[in-house]
Amino acid sequence: METTEKTAPTYTAKDFSSDQDVRWCPGCGDYSILAQVQRTLPSLGYKKEELVFVAGIGCSSRFAYYMNTYGFHGIHGRALAIASGLKSAHPNLSVWVTTGDGDCLSIGGNHFIHALRRNLDINILMFNNRIYGLTKGQYSPTSEHGKKTRSTPHGSIDHPFNPVLIALGAEGTFVARTMDRDAKHLQTVIARAAQHKGTSYIDVLQNCNIFNDGAFSLYTEKETKSDNALFIEHNRPLVFGKENDKGIKLDGFTPRVVSLNDYSIDDLLVYNSKSKELAFILAHMNDNPGFPMTFGIFLDILRPVYEAEMAEQIQQIIAKDGRGDLDSLLRDGNTWEIFGN
């Protein structure tokens, strides 16, 4: 009797597009992020029913409606809590979280850092436009100091978050930055994040052309991009500039921009995406005038994932004590019985 082997379905980007009308403002950077995710997913080998997109509240959180996969639209800031529970209960699913800088880093900030430290095998796409777009242009946790908005008419006096530094500080195992205007780079980073075993975090610089247009033009426009955006790759020297004539040299722990007219390529820092120390240095770098902003994968390391350790612990308990007794657990130690009149 002949048998046929099951093969993974062959998808195109169109297969991941839902029947919903995409309702973002014309020209919004979210269109590009959606397109690059849909173009990348067919190469990852997942069936549509194995993919779930979880969202909170904000322009980014419409994303789940536009994907022809499973999806869950949660409440403000709670997407990562939902995704954590989902992944713990169904570890075989590929779980993606789409969130914004307000949703993720303000009301959702606590869930963000704990998801990273726990290292669940989920993927976080944070759309960072440095503004609250859905609620009409208030400043956000990533808005620059002095930002004039409807809620800060005299300029924000808050110091902004650097999302990459937060992810590194929370012990994230995959931390990256990319942008909506660089489709090829965005696709590459999405694919690498999906391959990572553990929590992957991508800071996606995204243009809000209504309330914060041009916030990242220095890094996205052809005339200025080469001199202000540094793209890092593992085991490659740090070179940038329109003529590839500049690089980053490390003096101790201090980075320096140098000219390749004065130094050779062998003098430059060769990036290592396994080094937490280098990741912190480059994430901080463009806080100083004259330094480029870093794009690419800052850190890609491995440590045990939460859901696997949880499943192993449960199996150990079952092997030792059977399935366990919840009533005994609840009544263990100091307990009281309260009787009414």
Question: Strand pairing of 174-179 and 200-205?
Answer: parallel
Whether residues 59 and 101 share a domain: the answer is yes
Residue 27 lies in a domain: yes
Output the pLDDT for position 319: 85
Output the pLDDT for position 314: 87
Whether residues 150 and 97 share a domain: the answer is yes
Distances 327 to 324, 330, 332, 333, 338 between C-alpha atoms, Å: 9, 5, 9, 12, 17
Whether residues 176 and 37 share a domain: the answer is yes
Whether residues 246 and 157 share a domain: the answer is no
Output the pLDDT for position 14: 96
Residue 5 lies in a domain: no
Output the pLDDT for position 331: 79
Whether residues 115 and 257 share a domain: the answer is no
Q: Once rounded to an integer, what is the mean pLDDT over residues 69-78?
A: 94
Confidence band, pLDDT 50/70/90 cuts, at residue 1: very low
Structurally, the chain folds into a number of domains equal to: 2
What residues does 67 pair with on adjacent strands? Answer: 17
Residue 292 lies in a domain: yes
Output the pLDDT for position 8: 63
pLDDT at residue 326 is higher than 80: no
230 φ/ψ angles, rounded to the nearest 5 degrees = -105, 120
* Contact residues for 76 (Cβ-Cβ < 8 A; gap 6+): 56, 57, 58, 103, 107, 108
Total length of the chain: 341
Q: Once rounded to an integer, what is the mean pLDDT over residues 21-50?
A: 96
Output the pLDDT for position 332: 80
Token reading at 48? 């549509």
Residue 180 lies in a domain: yes
At residue 93, the 3 state secondary structure works out as coil
Distance between CA 255 and CA 274 in Å, rounded? 18
Give the pLDDT confidence of 203-254 residue by residue, as tens digits.
999 999 999 999 999 999 999 999 999 999 999 999 999 999 999 999 999 9
Whether residues 189 and 164 share a domain: the answer is yes
Whether residues 100 and 206 share a domain: the answer is yes
Closest CA to 114 of 73, 169, 163: 169
Write down the mean pLDDT value for the chain: 93
DSSP 8-state code for residue 194: H
Confidence band, pLDDT 50/70/90 cuts, at residue 329: confident
Residue 148 lies in a domain: yes
Q: Once rounded to an integer, what is the mean pLDDT over residues 167-186?
A: 98
Q: For a pLDDT cut of 90, what percent of the chain falls above it? A: 84
Residue 4 lies in a domain: no
* Contact residues for 61 (Cβ-Cβ < 8 A; gap 6+): 55, 73, 74, 79, 98, 99, 100, 103
One-letter identity of residue 50: E
Give the pLDDT confidence of 90-100 residue by residue, as tens digits.
999 999 999 99
Whether residues 64 and 127 share a domain: the answer is yes
Distance between CA 231 and CA 241 in Å, rounded? 11
Give the pLDDT confidence of 104-145 residue by residue, as tens digits.
999 999 999 999 999 999 999 999 999 988 888 888 999 999
| pTM tops 0.85 | yes
Residue 243 lies in a domain: yes
Whether residues 127 and 264 share a domain: the answer is no
pLDDT at residue 5 is higher than 70: no
CATH number, position 301: 3.40.50.970
Whether residues 113 and 19 share a domain: the answer is yes
pLDDT at residue 4 is higher than 60: no
Confidence band, pLDDT 50/70/90 cuts, at residue 340: confident
Whether residues 108 and 256 share a domain: the answer is no
Whether residues 208 and 255 share a domain: the answer is no
Residue 312 lies in a domain: no
Domain range for 250? 238-270
